[in-house]
């Protein structure tokens, strides 16, 4: 079965319950990448959480990435990091992580940023937001045309992000995205627990 889900953590991680849930979600074998994205947290706490998550991702054969923080990614033994346009720049991130670790780059809805990321040697690019997202305020809107363009012009995987759920993900994949990023639909779903939510992606 093809793993095409790029799972992003909830915005807060409370208690041990989360680790159990994460393990069960990853056990479904639908997730290729798991990104830890915690904005309001000290580096020391982030490192502690990262080390616990690393054990779970490793056991389930999922690539573990940390948002924004290449130094923490290296210390935690993660597989790499994801950087936005306002985070540490790509060249520095690559210096810290070395050539074998994964670096993904947010490219919003910009062909120019995607071509730049490819030239610098990113491992994947992320476009979005495709739909209304409740995880973060959407400044940039993307549409499926950019996915079709990237499939022809960019020689690396693309991740689509922003408001993706079980009723719209097929449209994204059929237009050329390699992975769909999900967060809220899995962790903060009013109707489904995380395991049931992830199973909705067939």
Pairing of strands 102-106, 80-83: parallel
Q: Per the omega criterion (within 30 degrees of 0), is the bond before 129 cis?
A: yes
pLDDT reading at 139 higher than 80:
no
150-158: Cβ within 8 A, 24+ apart = 150/114, 150/125, 150/176, 151/176, 153/111, 153/115, 154/114, 154/115, 154/118, 154/125, 155/118, 156/118, 156/122, 156/123, 156/124, 156/125, 157/123, 157/124, 157/125, 158/124, 158/125, 158/126, 158/127
Collapse the DSSP code of 130 into the 3-class scheme (helix H, G, I; strand E, B; otherwise coil) and give the result.
Answer: coil
For helices 144-153 and 111-120, the axis angle rounded to 10 degrees is 30
pLDDT of residue 132: 81
Q: How far apart are CA 196 and CA 180, in angstroms?
A: 17
Q: Pick from 142, 138, 193, 175: which is nearest to 22 by CA?
A: 193
All domains of the chain in start order, with CATH: 5-199 (3.20.20.70)
The pLDDT tens digits of the residues spanning 44-84 come to 999 999 999 999 999 999 999 999 999 999 999 999 999 99
Structural tokens at position 176? 């050329």
pLDDT of residue 140: 84
153 phi/psi in degrees, rounded to 5? -105, -20
The pLDDT tens digits of the residues spanning 24-47 come to 999 999 999 999 999 999 999 999
Identify each DSSP E strand in the chain by its residue range.
Answer: 5-8, 31-36, 63-67, 80-83, 102-106, 124-128, 158-161, 179-182
pLDDT of residue 87: 76
147 phi/psi in degrees, rounded to 5? -70, -40
Average pLDDT of the chain is 95
Structural tokens at position 151? 């499939």
Q: How far apart are CA 111 and CA 106, in angstroms?
A: 11
Q: How far apart are the first and last CA of the chain?
A: 10
Q: Pick from 165, 170, 181: which is nearest to 67 by CA?
A: 181
Rg (C-alpha) for the chain, rounded Å, is 16
């Amino acid at each position: 079965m093809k793993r095409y889900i790029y799972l992003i953590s909830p915005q807060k991680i409370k208690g041990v319950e989360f680790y159990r849930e994460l393990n069960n979600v990853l056990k479904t074998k639908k997730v290729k990448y798991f990104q830890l994205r915690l904005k309001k947290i000290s580096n020391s706490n982030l490192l502690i959480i990262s080390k616990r998550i690393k054990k779970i991702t490793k056991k389930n054969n999922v690539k573990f990435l940390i948002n924004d923080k290449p130094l923490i990614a290296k210390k935690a033994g993660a597989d790499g990091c994801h950087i936005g346009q306002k985070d540490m720049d790509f060249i520095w991130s690559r210096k810290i992580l070395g050539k074998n670790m994964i670096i993904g780059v947010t490219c919003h809805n910009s062909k120019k940023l995607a071509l730049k990321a490819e030239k610098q040697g990113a491992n994947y690019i992320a476009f979005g937001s495709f739909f209304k997202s409740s995880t973060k305020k959407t400044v940039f809107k993307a549409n499926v045309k950019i996915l079709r363009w990237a499939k022809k012009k960019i020689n690396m995987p693309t991740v689509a992000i922003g408001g993706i759920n079980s009723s719209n993900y097929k449209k994204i994949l059929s237009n050329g995205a390699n992975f769909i990023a999900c967060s809220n639909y899995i962790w903060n779903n009013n109707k489904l627990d995380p395991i049931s939510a992830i199973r909705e992606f067939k």
